[in-house]
Amino acid sequence: MSTLSQTALIHRFNGISFTVRSSPDLLKSLDTVDAREDDILLVSYPKSGTHWLAEIIRHIYNCKVTLTSPIEFGDISRVKELNNLSSKRIIPTHLDYNMLPSNFKVKQCKTFYIIRNPKDVAVSMYHYYKDNPNLPTIDSWTVFLELFLKGDVVCGSWFDHFLSWEEHKNDRNILFLFYEDMKKDLPKVVKKMSIFLEINISDSETEEICEKSSFTEMKSNVEKENSDSNHTVCALTSNRKLIFRKGAVGDWKNYFTPKQNKMFAEMFNKKMELILVLTHIQNCK
């Protein structure tokens, strides 16, 4: 990665890397965004399934909602733009919990946090970097994995991001979802989401939502939606062709060498040690 491309495309805020598409002035002013009690936040680390989640929620509400691009995407005018949007707002973000505007915490807005196997996230993000002109050039998978493990990528460390939200997994207004569960049994997850949103949907409605929100269906709509640069919930590109690649579970096995897998496992165990200890203590009660 060249120093020039890094400087031109990336800046750091609170020690976390952001693209220039998220201006420092906006990031400094996020606490001035008005939160509403009926706002719904869709939170994730990049490449974890936010677009899929957004599509499901849109259909649960029969598309009678305002889906925004990420709260941290744009310049200072973004604050006024968000404040002027009509309710109900569905607001995606890749911010960690500590950077989330305090107004949304005070209002206890309903929040979904979607988690995906970080090894699959790393692979998906690698391809995203390779094909995205808004991100620095990456020389190889090996180089990218090292950067990913160091947290020297857009949105910072996956581990730190997850841990910041994991502390709040038992908050009543936050629902944790797993990407792998969505792939395995989407109707069950859709039902879980609708209950959390306090919306009653029938089995036939659930089936219809799943069909409209399938990965294949969303990917087939890319050409149509790509004509509208504002029709995206991704802060890193307006080109929706880059958003949907495989959506696969376990694709990391095609990239990780045994040595890399061991290195990743060591980092994972080190970062998650406290969680594992607390889980063990809770299980012993």
Residues 6+ apart with CB under 8 A from 172: 108
Mapping DSSP to helix (H, G, I), strand (E, B) and coil, where does residue 50 land? helix
Q: Is 94 in the active site?
A: yes
The answer to whether the beta carbons of residues 127 and 56 sit under 8 Å apart is no
β-pair partners for 42: 92, 112
Task: Characterise 62 by phi-psi region: left (phi > 0), alpha (psi -120 to 50), beta (else).
Answer: left
Token code pair at residue 143: 């180089």
Spot the catalytic one: 51, 94, 127, 161. 94
Residues 6+ apart with CB under 8 A from 79: 26, 29, 30, 32, 33
The total of other beta-carbon atoms located within 10 Å of residue 68's CB is 21
What beta strand segments (E) does 76-211 contain? 89-93, 110-115, 174-178
∠ CA 26-243-47 to the nearest 5 degrees? 70
Token code pair at residue 90: 């569905």
The answer to whether the beta carbons of residues 161 and 96 sit under 8 Å apart is yes
- DSSP secondary-structure letter at 49? S
Active centre residues (catalytic): 94
